[in-house]
Chain A
Amino acid sequence: MKAAKQEADDERLLIEAAQRDASRFAELYKRNFERVYAFVVRRVRNRAEAEDVTSDVFHRALANLHRFEWRGVPFAAWLYRMAANAIADRLQQAGREAGLPSDADAIEDPVALRQLEERATLFRLVNELPPDQQRVVNMRFVEQKSVREIAHQLRRSEGAIKQLQFRALENLRARMRRAHA
């Protein structure tokens, strides 16, 4: 509980600093990028749309930061609300009624929020992997390359790439446990 309160206080200070000086927004971005992306990516059709919406959310957040009032509600919740609105607008513009979960209710659901937080943590942890593991994860999962392509590009054996993939996933699993312990 203490840690949670400490984090809330830190966040409040960061927001107030960014409201006074927009250049401090970078810290809020760093803390929340993965959260927003994780929220958006499951609610749109593809990566390009996820990037568009995420970009939109942070630009809006920067432009409207002065309107954010601290009432103990996490900053992320404000961002999720903006993201949900941005997605709903897109669906409406595209004339799509439903199909993907675009409802803002998910923001209130503690289970959904916890899963969201876990995925955001996972995305952050990838950046802490040893460089060769990080590279393999990015090529395999983001660029969706085959093991053969990766092996060719990195001039390693396919076995070595599979080994790196295995270690990377193990590593991430272990770090996730520690992070949420």
Chain B
Amino acid sequence: MPKRSLNQQLDQAVQALLSRPDSLLTAAEPELAPLLSVAADLRDLPRKEFREQLKSDLQRSSSMATQPKPQAVSYIREGFHTITPYLIVPGAAEFLEFLKAAFGAKERLRIPRPGTDLVMHAEVDLGGYIIELADSNQQFPARPAELHLYVSDADATFARAVAAGATSVFEPVDQPYGDREGYVKDKFGNQWYIATPIGWTPPAGGPPAVQPVLHPRGADQLMEFLKDAFDAEILGDVPRSPEGAVLHVTMRIGDNTLEIGDAHGQFQPVPCALHLYVPDCDALYQRALRAGATSIEPPNDKPYGDREAGVKDASGFTWYITTHLRDIALPLPIRRLDFFTIRTASLERARRFYVETLQFPVLDENKGEYFRIAVAGVPVCVDYDANIAGQQRNQIGVVVSHLGFTREALRGRGIQFSEGQRADETWVAIKDPDGHEIIFVQEK
């Protein structure tokens, strides 16, 4: 019986513990006290199901991490660093010319928006660092940036930038932090700090030629976000104003750096877009969301061989989180066929045949050299060449809707033809005065 009463007493005390978490541990029998202390700790006992669920989640993540990657390519596209500024500006083609003239940028790639001269995507190399750019539009509104350039001669580069059309904000001066530095704005909305180290020794390989500079309202928040989302590390000290504002900090993500300072005075937020190459786009996208970013675009495979996601952080900066999956030869950005050429020993004879007899329209003509005709909309240049004897003759194939009409039309013009059949087409072929063949085909 005493045991039974102990059971009862213990349960009463446990019930009190559970219903009032802050209640004191009390029991009539002193021998119950140690059991109640165990009971008190058991209130925090983790759920078994949670323990197992997390275990299998982690197993899944770790097996994804250890799966051999079939690719031999780096997750960073050739020539890129982890962080690349992506400048979206009105007048990107003109901006490209500015970058070349002002900073000696080399154009790596330019993909026009089909059927236009607008830049869908372009890349320039500036001292071994890449800047990406594109024309702004409704879908991608302008996102200029603040960039810190390290150059060999700040005064000379500053002068070139101003000559190329940039506006001087301040001319190069020796700054207390060991840089000779000037500051310009361009007409596309970008700001450029042009610096040369004078009071410090840059690391082997030189200082970073291009570094994005961010001036958020609330630098601490942005720094925390970058730590949580992208494992960014603070390099060196974080000097602060007497009010606690971050004056300047350099953070490293992957293999390069960016600079952050609290917005103040003329340095107001420029909510730029930055492109990050990371080993696992999906994982970092999720981390960025957990760290407080909002999604612009969930991870998806791009035709250019990258897997890419987009987020915007609480300070308004856009991050394109990308993993390069495979190298893809970019398609040549062709807009239309301009012409192809067949040769003739006699322009006059050829012109009679093509223009007067066959009645192909003339597009343009340079007497004694060539004339161009349109064959079903495709320009064909008939070019004078006195020595075509022994050269390979061309064939021009065209599809017609009715071969019977074609035969009659050719007979009516007194042109000889041959004809035949293949698996799924019948054809009629003629030769021009130089021996080039024109084959009229009717599909079955």
Contacts and interface: CB of A to CB of B under 8 A. Distances in A.
A and B: interacting chains: yes
Interface in A96-123: 118-119, 122-123
Nearest to A144: B18
A126 B42 contact: yes
A138 B45 contact: yes
B59 A42 contact: no
B10 interface: yes
B38 interface: yes
Contacts of B7: 159, 162-163, 165-166
Interface string A61-77: 01110000000000000
A45 B50 CA distance: 17
B65 A123 contact: no
A142 B47 contact: yes
- Most chain A CB neighbours (cut-off 10 Å) among B6, B34, B44, B65: B44
Interface residues of A, number: 51
Contacts of B290: 56
Contacts of A137: 42, 45
Interface in B7-51: 7-8, 10-11, 14-15, 18, 34-35, 38-39, 41-48, 50-51
Given A29-B55, A55-B57, A172 B11 contact: no
A38 interface: yes
Given A147-B11, A166-B7, A173-B34, A26 B55 contact: yes
Contacts of B45: 123, 126, 137-138, 141-142
Contacts of B10: 162, 165-166, 169
Given A93-B292, A119-B41, A21 B55 contact: no
B58 interface: yes
B62 A25 contact: yes
A41 interface: yes
Interface in A24-38: 25-26, 29-30, 33-34, 37-38
B4 interface: yes
A23 interface: yes
Contacts of A42: 44
Contacts of A165: 7, 10-11, 14
A146 to B, nearest CB: 8
Given A38-B44, A59-B61, A169 B35 contact: yes
B309 to A, nearest CB: 17
Nearest to B290: A56
A102 to B, nearest CB: 15
Q: Which 8 A-B pairs have the closest CB atoms?
A: A22-B62, A141-B42, A169-B35, A162-B7, A22-B65, A41-B44, A37-B46, A22-B66
20 contacts: A21-B66, A23-B66, A26-B55, A29-B54, A33-B51, A47-B47, A50-B46, A89-B224, A122-B38, A126-B42, A137-B45, A140-B42, A141-B39, A142-B46, A142-B47, A142-B48, A162-B7, A163-B7, A165-B11, A166-B10
Interface of A: 21-23, 25-26, 29-30, 33-34, 37-38, 41-42, 47, 50-51, 54-56, 58-59, 62-64, 89, 92-93, 118-119, 122-123, 126-127, 137-138, 140-142, 144, 146-147, 159, 162-163, 165-166, 169-170, 172-173, 176
Given A33-B54, A37-B46, A169-B38, 15 more contacts: A21-B66, A26-B55, A33-B51, A41-B44, A47-B47, A56-B290, A58-B54, A62-B58, A64-B231, A122-B38, A144-B18, A162-B8, A166-B6, A169-B35, A176-B38
